[in-house]
Structures are given as C-alpha cells and as structure tokens.
Amino acid sequence: MKPQRSHQRGFAAIAAVFLVVMLAALGAFMVSFSNTQQLNSAQDVQGSRAYWAARAGLEWAIASQGVGVTACWATTPPASIDGFNLAVSCTLSSFTDGSTTVYIFRLQSVASSGTVGSVGYTERSVSASVER
C-alpha cells in the first residue's frame, strides 16, 4: 500500500503571516500611544511654565503699584518672560469713602507661547485686584 498524501499544505504559513500582521499592528498602536502620552506631558509642563510666567507678570504689576500711587504704572511692563509673550494690563477705578478717595487697580497678566490654533499653543492668565 502506498502512503496517502495530504493535500493541505501552507496552513502554518498563513497563521504565521496573520500573527506577524497582528504583532505589527500592536506595535504601531503602542508607538502611537507613547507619542500621545509624550505630547500630553510636554503640554502639561508648558502650561505650568506659562502659569508661572503670567504670575511673574502679575507680581511685577502689584509691586509697581506703590503706596500713594494714583495711576497705573509709569514704567513699561516686561514684554516676555522665559520665552513666553507677556501682556500685563491695569484698569483703575476710584470711589470716595467719606473724605478718602479709594483706588482699586484691576491687574491682569496673560502669558502665551506659540501660534493660536497650533498644537504647541499655550496660554495662561491670572488677575488680581489691589486697593490703595
């Protein structure tokens, strides 16, 4: 008797190709996920740096409002801090309380970096009111 030959050949090759494709897809997903996490982390750090730059601008504005000052600052506020564009504004209002005039300074500091609408754009704003 002759041994009977099987006509099923190549099944292991199909399974191997399927396994390689699945592993490649899993690897691509892991790389994409890692890149997204890296971008989120970098944006978080930039947000923190922008907050502290805005806070520095606000501290400058508060310090420039000395005792007896009845107008917004006389010197020019800083234009940038640590690579962030800085916009510091002051709005003055006053009222009379008996015989005393009270001045209220509304101070706002905005720090921004990058182009609006881009992935790397970061902006933080802080404000305070000071009574003199």
Tally of CB atoms within 10 A around 113: 19
Q: Where are the domains of the chain?
A: 46-131
Q: What is the structure's pLDDT at 58?
A: 93
pLDDT above 90 coverage of the chain, percent: 45
pLDDT (tens digit, 9 = 90+) per residue, 74-131?
778 888 888 899 999 999 998 898 898 888 999 999 999 999 888 889 999 999 998 8
Helix (H, G, I), strand (E, B) or coil at 68: coil
Nearest to 123 by CA among 74, 72, 57, 75: 57
Give the span between the Cα atoms of 103 and 123, in whole angstroms. Answer: 29
